Structure 1
Amino acid sequence: MQPPAAGSLRILHLSDTHLTGDGALHQGSVDTTAALDAVLAHVDGVPGVGLVVVSGDVSEDGSPESYRTARERIGAWAERHGAALVLVPGNHDLREGFRQVLANGHVLGEGGAPLAHTMEYTPPSVPVSGQSVVAGFRVVTVDTSVPGAGYGALSETALDRLRTALTGEPVPHGTVVVLHHPPVPSPTLLHEALRLQDPDDLAELLDGSDVRVVLGGHQHHHAVGSLAGVPVLVAPGVANDTDVVGPYDEESAHVAHGALIVDVGPDGSVWSTPVRVPDPDRDVLAFALDAGTVARIAEQAGPAAR
């Protein structure tokens, strides 16, 4: 993959890892720790990642052990690549366990340096929130989870904190918002029932703001939309991939794993590339061209040949 353009922030966007504290299989079929390891190994050669984002459902059971697995594995990848690390809760997460291990979700700062946090008790009724600055971009996490429910909502506390962040001291290149329930339509009946409620409240804050992109998950499938003119990118699931072309009123998923590579430019431009982890037992290589062959074809067929 080509390196990011000068001044851009390259983001590895992960979502829906659904890690378990006891190693139990997700939906009885997927070892999510192994799936996460496979995704991280597959993107290991991507150059220039400055920020790693996990947009919710970090855990399946809300256990501290599951969050330690996320901190150890994703944190090690981010530190090795010199990248910041930010996570946000989803509907499967439990705020108490999340905070115990990940504090406010802003774990590593610019360059992969650990961030310091004051550890004090916060009731689970209070949404998790935080912000940090990475390469001139403000990164704001918004907790859309509703304790005990699957759908998402923005509480007054969450809205107030986002409003405060967006009206605070300006940053050079704008803001990246990370949440779990994306403010776009869902492809299946089940996910539509569990979607973000009242996205207009979010749209009101985004309109005229410096937000460059909203990153979400929840749907276990890559999707692109917009809200108040701001791009909304939904990451594939690490745990599995939703069958979005099946019957609308049914729900099924394939054992497949993926991520997004998102580049946000200093001018506000956004470029997103979905990454699918191939299965060596099923994905037969169609062709492979070495560097010399690629260079020769490019020279013969590209604009330089005219």
Structure 2
Amino acid sequence: MQPPAAGTLRVLHLSDTHLTGDGALHQGSVDTTAALESVLARVDGVPGIGLVVISGDVSEDGSPESYAAVLERVGGWAERHGAALVAVPGNHDLREGFRQVLSNGHVLGEGGRPVMHTMEYHPPTVPVWGQSLVAGRRIVTVDTSVPGAGYGEVSEASLERLRTALAGDHAPHGTIVVLHHPPLPAPTALHEALRLQNPEALADVVRGSDVRVVLGGHYHHHFAGSLAGVPVLVAPGVANDTDVTGAYDEESAYVDSGALVVDVAEDGSVWSTPLRVPRPDADPLAFHLDAETVASVIAAAGKH
């Protein structure tokens, strides 16, 4: 891949790593630790990455051990490449375990240097929040997870903190917002039930601001769209790849992994390159849920 243009921040955008503390297979079929290692090996030669982002569902079980495994692998990769590292919780994450290992998600700063944090306790009811400055860009993480649910929501407190951050001094080259549940239409009935509930509220905050791009995950497939005129990029899943062409009321995924390489230029323009890391030695179908099973998951985890 060509090196980034002068003044450009190159971002490695990972999502939905779904690591487990005990090494259990995701959906009974995918070794997510091996999948993550394959993705990191694939992008090892990509030049000029200054920021690594994990946009949620970092863990499958919310255990401190799973976050430690992610930190060892992704954090080690970022340090070796001199890149900052930022992560945000998703619906599978547990805030207590996330904070214990990753603090507010802003783990490494410019050059891959550790970010110092004060030891402050927050109950799980309080969304994870953080911001940092990388290569003249303000990186803001917004926790869209809802404890005990699969759908997403930006709380009033998080909206106000984002509004305040964007109303402050402008970053030299704008803001990048990272969240899990993307403010875009959902590809399947299950994801529709687990979508972000208040994208309009988020749009009201970012409209007219210096936000250059919103990075999200959750859908386990690459999507691109916009919110209030701001590009929205959804990364492929590390754990598997959603079958977006199947029956709407069913849910299937393939054994496949991917990532995005996102270039954010000084003038605010954005260029995204999706990368796939197929695993041809595995059964191509990661899992399949029929319509009845999908309905039961929606009843348990969707918005009522």
User: Does the CA-based 8 Å contact 2:216-2:234 persist in structure 1?
Assistant: yes
Aligned pair 1:210/2:210, yes or no?
yes
Shift of 1:87: 0.1
Is the Cα–Cα contact under 8 Å of residues 255 and 279 in structure 2 kept in the other structure?
Answer: no
Q: What letter matches 2:108 in structure 1?
A: L
| Structure-2 residue corresponding to 1:36 | 36
Shift of residue 278, structure 1, vs aligned partner? 3.4
1:231 maps to 231
Once residues 279 and 147 of structure 1 are traced to their aligned partners in structure 2, the CA distance between those partners, rounded to angstroms, is 33
Deviation (angstroms), 1:209: 0.2
Aligned partner of 2:146 in structure 1 is 146
What amino acid is aligned across from residue 247 of structure 2 in structure 1? P
Measured in 1, the distance between the counterparts of 2:57 and 2:32 equals: 12
Aligned to 2:96: 96
Q: How far does residue 281 in structure 1 lie from its aligned partner after superposition? A: 4.2
The amino acid across from 2:208 in the alignment is: G
CA–CA separation in structure 1 for the residues paired with 2:280 and 2:261: 22
Supply the distance in 2 between the matched residues of 1:142 and 1:105 (Cα, whole angstroms).
10
Determine the C-alpha separation between the residues in 1 that align with 2:230 and 2:90. 21
User: TM-score, length-normalised on structure 2?
Assistant: 0.92
What amino acid does structure 1 have at the position aligned with 2:188?
Answer: T
Contact 2:255 2:278 in 1 (8 A): no
Q: Supply the RMSD in Å over aligned alpha carbons.
A: 0.8
Residues in 2 aligned to 1:133 and 1:22: alpha-carbon distance in whole angstroms:
34
Cα distance between partner residues in 2 of 1:211 and 1:246: 34
Amino acid at match of 1:122: H
Measure, in 2, the Cα distance between the counterparts of 1:16 and 1:201. Answer: 24
Q: What residue number does 2:271 align with?
A: 271
- Identify the residue that residue 120 of structure 2 maps to in structure 1: 120
**What corresponds to 1:171 in structure 2?**
171
Q: Which residue matches 2:69?
A: 69
What does the per-residue CA deviation read over 1:141-160, in whole Å, with 9 as the maximum and x for residues that have no partner? 00000000000001111111
2:14 maps to: 14
Cα displacement string for residues 23-73 of structure 1 (whole angstroms, at most 9, x for unaligned residues): 110000001000000000000000000000000000000000000001110
Identity of aligned residues (%): 79
> Counterparts of 1:178-193 in structure 2 under 5 Å?
178-193=178-193
1:280-299 CA distance string (max 9 Å, x none) = 548xxxxxxxxxxxxxxxxx
Separation in 2, partners of 1:73, 1:54: 12
1:86 match: secondary structure: strand
Q: Deviations over 1:165-193 (max 9, x none)?
A: 11112111000000000000011110011
Runs of 4+ in 1 over 6 A off after TM superposition: none
Alignment of 1:51-66 (within 5 A): 51-66=51-66
Asked if 1:158 corresponds to 2:177, the answer is: no
How much has 1:161 moved relative to structure 2? 1.1
Three-state SS of the structure 2 residue aligned to 1:231 is strand
Matches within 5 A, 1:241-280: 241-279=241-279
| Cα separation, 2, equivalents of 1:46 and 1:276 | 14
Equivalent AA in structure 2 for residue 94 of structure 1: L
Task: Give the Cα separation in 2 of the matches to 1:208 and 1:41.
Answer: 39
If you compute each CA radius of gyration, which structure gives the higher value, 1 or 2? 1
Distance 1:189 1:271 in 2: 30
SS in 1 for 2:80: helix
Give the aligned length: 282
Distance, in Å, in 2 between the alignment partners of 1:267 and 1:253 is 37
Shift of 1:279: 3.1
DSSP 3-state at the match of 1:33: helix
Task: State yes or no: 1:197 paired with 2:221.
Answer: no
Q: How far apart are the structure 2 equivalents of 1:250 and 1:279? A: 23
Provide the TM-score with structure 1 as the length reference: 0.91
Hey, what does 2:301 align to over in structure 1? Answer: none
What residue identity is the alignment partner of 2:53? V
AA at the equivalent of 1:118? T
**Structure 1, unaligned runs of 5 or more:** 283-306
Counterpart CA distance in 1 for 2:278 and 2:10 is 22
1:90 partner letter? G
Q: Distance in 2 between matches of 1:230 and 1:2?
A: 25
Alpha-carbon contact 2:78-2:85 (below 8 Å) kept = yes
**Residue equivalent to 1:297:** none
Q: Quick one: distance in 1 between partners of 2:281 and 2:56?
A: 29
Aligned twin of 2:80? 80
SS state at 1:273 partner: strand
